[in-house]
Structure 1
Amino acid sequence: MKSTILKTASSYLLPILLLFSIFILLRGHYLPGGGFVGGLIASIAFVLHSFTHDTEATLQLLRIHPRALIPVGLGVSALSMFVPFLGGLPVMTGLWFDEPVPVIGLIGSALVFDLGVYLVVIGVVLTVLFTISQYSE
């Protein structure tokens, strides 16, 4: 895209949208939001960047291909599901630390599961959209 205004704005919006997506991820196990919505917002940030700076520049910014995030996210989610089972509890039982972390709050297996979902959503959305973008030119 040739718009200088949009190109400049997207450079400033990328870190703001990523920070907002992390906020949505962290509040998700208490209020609406979480890994899926946070992952979509992060994906939108990178898609906006790719619209204005080209897909290859966005892939260089990411440093790893988004496809690599999918198995990592699935592994993190699966780990959070089966850790309680190792302790003799049913699968997907919520485990929580006793003390809250100052900015984040209580950390538990729900947050770890949401983190895995966050990575999977970013990986799937960006892989699909970047593949379409690269092969449509």
Structure 2
Amino acid sequence: MNSLILSAFSRFLFALMLVVSLYILYRGHNDPGGGFVGGLMAAAGFAILAMADGVQAARRMVRVHPVALMGAGLVLALLSGLPGLVNRGSFLAHWWFHAGDFHSGTALAFDIGVYLAVLGGILALILRFYEEQPEA
């Protein structure tokens, strides 16, 4: 697209969607949300950037190949289940850490893995579709 308004607004919207996706990712183990929804939100931000400024602009913002993101996410999600297997004999029995009001654990690592896997998968699909789209 060659819209100056969309191009200018897409950068702001991209940053906003990334911040919201990270918020959704973090709150996911306590409230609705998590890695899947957060990954979809981040991928939508990259899709808006690719639609407004082209695929190459979106690829420059990703900095990593989407398939590498998928692989890293799958490995992280797999590794997050191993502490429970070793400690309690049950895969994905999560460990929890508490420090005052802040609490986290291996569930957050699992959600980050899902976030990266979803982001990489959707980005690979979206960027490929935009590359094949003929110029109007």
Trace 1:89-108 onto structure 2 (pairs within 5 A): 89-100=89-100, 105-108=102-105
* CA deviation vs aligned residue, 1:34-62 (integer Å, no higher than 9, x gap): 00000000000000000011001110121
The partner residue of 2:121 within 98, 101, 124 is 124
SS in 1 for 2:37: helix
Per-residue deviation, 1:20: 0.4
More strand by share: 2
Cα distance in 1 for partners of 2:126, 2:77 equals 23
Per-residue deviation, 1:13: 1.1
Unmatched runs of 5 consecutive residues or more in structure 1: none
Per-residue deviation, 1:128: 0.9
Cα distance in 2 for partners of 1:124, 1:38 equals 13
Instruction: Calculate the TM-score normalised by the size of structure 1.
Output: 0.92
Instruction: Calculate the TM-score normalised by the size of structure 2.
Output: 0.93
Partner amino acid, structure 2, of 1:72? A
1:47 aligns with 2:27: no
- Could you list the runs of 4 or more consecutive aligned residues of structure 1 that deviate by over 4 angstroms after TM superposition? none
* CA deviation vs aligned residue, 1:64-110 (integer Å, no higher than 9, x gap): 1111101100000000112211224311112101325x6xx311111
Cα distance in 2 for partners of 1:25, 1:14 equals 16
Cα distance in 1 for partners of 2:5, 2:130 equals 22
